[in-house]
Amino acid sequence: MYEAEALRNWSEREKLRVIIKEMAQKLWAWRSLFLLIPGVNSKKKQMCFDWGPGEMLVCETSFNKKEKSEMVPGCPFIYIIRKDVDVYSQILRKLFNESHGIFVGLQKIEEELTGKSRKAQLVRVSKNYRSVIRACMEEMHQVAIAAKDLASGRQFSTQVSILSAMELIWNLCEILFIEVAPAGPLLLHLLDWVRLHVCEVDSLLADVLGSENPSKHESFWNLVTILVLQGRLDEARQMLSKEADASPTSAGMCRILGDLMRTMPVLSPGSTQTLTELELKWQHWHEECERHLQDGTFASSPHLESLCKIMLGDEAALLEQKELLSNWYHFLVTRLLYSHPTVKPIDLHFYAQSSLDLFLGGESSPEPLDNILMAAFEFDIHQVIKECSIALSNWWFVAHLTDLLDHCKLLQSHNLYFGSNMREFLLLEYASGLFAHHSLWQLGVDYFDYCPELGRVSLELHIERIPLSTEQKALKVLRICEQRQMTEQVRSICKILAMKAVRNNRLGSALSWSIRAKDAAFATLVSDRFLRDYCERGCFSDLDLIDNLGPAMMLSDRLTFLGKYREFHRLYGEKRFVDAASLLLSLMTSQIAPQSFWMTLLTDALPLLEQKQVIFSAEQTYELMRCLEDLTSGMPVRGEPDAQRLQDDDIETTKVEMLRLALARNLARAIIKEGSLEGS
């Protein structure tokens, strides 16, 4: 039993069985639509609410403004409501993480693969999904055992039983829909399925064999019966030989029954035997069993006789073992094993239905799990998915199973348009749930990517809501958007970050985000802040950034100016006065510099004009003079002057006078220099 190690402890299993029963009832309870909000009196008050990206706010209010009821609300709380509870489970995170890898791999399975190799690959994918479920179940079980308080222990146990139910359903779907086992092998698969999921027998086996006198063990006959019910006849025979050794009186009978067990024809994988041959042999064997029963071979041992009846597929004898069978699908498989070993897939539903009816015997009604399995036996994939969606608490199961079945091309044949759409619908729901979680959202991205119809637009809506709490997170979100050419989202995110940086007076960061957002208006705004800061403090911050703007400088005129103006300062600092001077002049003549800044630029020219050597040529000096005159003539006529303005005007007038003087002197020197140069 390759995976039967899941739960070894017998008593644990017993406890689990009770819980599974409880769970089944709960599954129905979950259908209830209601979430109760504590403290709110729905008879008197109403609730106001708001949607958030992953949560919902709810709070008590009274909308009817006309009838003034009690002032203060009865419930002073605001509630935060979340949707997918499972997203927040630590253990299930592993399920989400690991299945994500399998999912992405499945999407990449080459379409060209056909026939057997494709099927083999899909079966492998299915088994991978199941082993992730199993691993998760295993871990959840450990946690359940280790749980300190009863309540959380029960909670985890419930989770275990849900996972176990998921695996049970998935396994059956794998056999019927993916493996598509034909008559013959079908039963072998179903036997494995039952053995895997009704595995108490292994611990019992160990228990009995470990006892001093196995055949006298109180559970000895239960064990043998279970082994026979599960078709584990070799082990059953070994047990019978222990009984034969211990009680000589029944040794003969044990040997005969053992022989019947040994000779039961089974389909061995890889043999060339045809189904007809098998059926023929099986018929002979069946008749032999029948004869022994008729002859009263086992009449003196009720245990052995009952075993023989089981092997004859006697329904009454089987139903006597209800306790040991534990469920109707075990009953179904045992019944098939001993009466219709070559059952065809198409006939399964008939036996399944009658087994369910016989097993429940009208005492109880089918539970959700029963309905799901029944739908699978009926090959009604749509019904399976629908029932699972009702019964299970998260979208993980249906989304992944549906996607896999879609890759098996099963949904198309079921109903082309609806089929592919159902896959997308479920994947979108699952991915949206992941986006409610602060880190799992990253898995959600890939699921959206593989939804051709609404995946992209859903991703756009979700991803822009990811809180940009750290730079690292922002960059991660941006990368995802950039990879998918989501230009509007990239712009918006950068803009948000630029705005945040400006508000916090981090101008460098603001500038680089607005460049990334390609937001010219905002780049202008931030550039102005830089220039204003420069005018106030006389130095630039974030030199690294401004010095290395490169082509980004072209985003806005003001940014260009900022970059060029800083370049002027660098040239000046490097004493490259001639270059600095012509750059300064060009900033004005090319109109890159805003007029409001010209006075600052002209003032910056002053020290250059005062240098020992002539830096501005005569022509350049004329240009500078023109700029100065443009600026002064353009100055507005002022209204009523106040003291402060008079003082400002005074400073301004002095500045202009100084500039005029310096320009005139420079012009004189330049003319002389240029004249003498030409002359020489």
CB of 92 to another protein, least distance (A): 11
CB of 400 to another protein, least distance (A): 15
Q: Which residues are paired to 55 by β-bridges?
A: 82
CB of 12 to another protein, least distance (A): 20
**Options 74-82, 122-130, 213-221, 273-281: segment touching another protein (CB under 8 A):** 74-82
Site string for another protein, 236-265 (x = CB under 8 A): ------------------------------
Element (H, E) at 289: helix 275-294
Provide CB contacts within 8 A for 116, sequence distance 6+.
Answer: none
Is residue 551 a contact point for another protein (CB under 8 A)?
Answer: no
**Options 38-46, 316-324, 558-566, 612-620: segment touching another protein (CB under 8 A):** 38-46
Is residue 21 a contact point for another protein (CB under 8 A)?
Answer: no
Is residue 75 a contact point for another protein (CB under 8 A)?
Answer: yes
What is the C-alpha separation between 495 and 518, in angstroms, rounded?
9
Q: Which residue type sits at 160?
A: V
Complex with another protein: residue 401 or 584, whichever CB lies closer: 401
Tokens linked to 136: 């998760």
How many residues make contact with another protein (CB under 8 A)?
99
Is residue 24 a contact point for another protein (CB under 8 A)?
Answer: no
Do 227 and 240 contact (CB within 8 A), yes or no? no
- Which one, of 500, 445, 446, lies nearest residue 471 by Cα? 500
The three-state secondary structure class of 450 is coil
Is residue 38 a contact point for another protein (CB under 8 A)?
Answer: yes
**Options 258-266, 314-322, 424-432, 551-559: segment touching another protein (CB under 8 A):** 424-432
CA distance readout (Å), 82 to 49, 54, 261: 13, 7, 57
Is residue 60 a contact point for another protein (CB under 8 A)?
Answer: yes
Complex with another protein: residue 120 or 521, whichever CB lies closer: 521
> Looking at 10, 30, 379, 622, which residue binds another protein (CB under 8 A)?
30
Complex with another protein: residue 347 or 429, whichever CB lies closer: 429
Is residue 193 a contact point for another protein (CB under 8 A)?
Answer: no
- Which one, of 556, 245, 198, lies nearest residue 190 by Cα? 198
CB of 432 to another protein, least distance (A): 7
What is the C-alpha separation between 370 and 266, in angstroms, rounded?
29
Tokens linked to 457: 């637009």
Q: Residues of 223-259 as b/e, b for ≥16 C-beta within 10 angstroms?
A: bbbbbbbbbbbebbbbbbebbbeeeeebeebbebbbe
**Options 279-287, 458-466, 561-569, 647-655: segment touching another protein (CB under 8 A):** 458-466
CA distance readout (Å), 120 to 116, 169, 376: 6, 20, 21
What is the C-alpha separation between 160 and 154, in angstroms, rounded?
10
CB of 553 to another protein, least distance (A): 22
> Looking at 78, 635, 646, 668, which residue binds another protein (CB under 8 A)?
78
What is the C-alpha separation between 664 and 480, in angstroms, rounded?
60
Tokens linked to 293: 């029963």
- Which one, of 590, 587, 589, lies nearest residue 567 by Cα? 587
> Looking at 57, 145, 209, 275, which residue binds another protein (CB under 8 A)?
57
Complex with another protein: residue 329 or 397, whichever CB lies closer: 397
Q: How far apart are the two ends of the chain, measured CA to CA in Å?
A: 108
Site string for another protein, 162-181 (x = CB under 8 A): x-------------------
CB of 167 to another protein, least distance (A): 17
Footprint of another protein on 378-407 (CB under 8 A): 385-386, 389-393, 395, 398
- Which one, of 195, 264, 267, lies nearest residue 229 by Cα? 195
Complex with another protein: residue 79 or 530, whichever CB lies closer: 79
The torsion region of residue 79 among left (phi > 0), alpha (psi -120 to 50) and beta comes to beta
Q: Which residue type sits at 522?
A: F
Is residue 272 a contact point for another protein (CB under 8 A)?
Answer: no
The torsion region of residue 614 among left (phi > 0), alpha (psi -120 to 50) and beta comes to beta
CB of 524 to another protein, least distance (A): 11
- Which one, of 468, 389, 376, 460, lies nearest residue 430 by Cα? 389
CB of 517 to another protein, least distance (A): 9
CA distance readout (Å), 360 to 13, 15, 357: 22, 22, 5
> Looking at 2, 11, 67, 72, which residue binds another protein (CB under 8 A)?
72
CB of 536 to another protein, least distance (A): 17
Footprint of another protein on 82-121 (CB under 8 A): 82-83, 85-86, 88
Footprint of another protein on 459-498 (CB under 8 A): 461-462, 464-469, 488, 492, 495-496
Is residue 366 a contact point for another protein (CB under 8 A)?
Answer: no
Is residue 327 a contact point for another protein (CB under 8 A)?
Answer: no
Is residue 458 a contact point for another protein (CB under 8 A)?
Answer: yes
Alpha helices in 211-264 (DSSP H): 220-229, 233-246, 251-263
What is the C-alpha separation between 366 and 364, in angstroms, rounded?
7
Is residue 512 a contact point for another protein (CB under 8 A)?
Answer: no
Is residue 49 a contact point for another protein (CB under 8 A)?
Answer: yes
Complex with another protein: residue 36 or 651, whichever CB lies closer: 36
Complex with another protein: residue 52 or 101, whichever CB lies closer: 52
**Options 51-59, 259-267, 310-318, 596-604: segment touching another protein (CB under 8 A):** 51-59
> Looking at 1, 18, 48, 109, which residue binds another protein (CB under 8 A)?
48
CB of 86 to another protein, least distance (A): 8
What is the C-alpha separation between 141 and 143, in angstroms, rounded?
5
Is residue 54 a contact point for another protein (CB under 8 A)?
Answer: yes
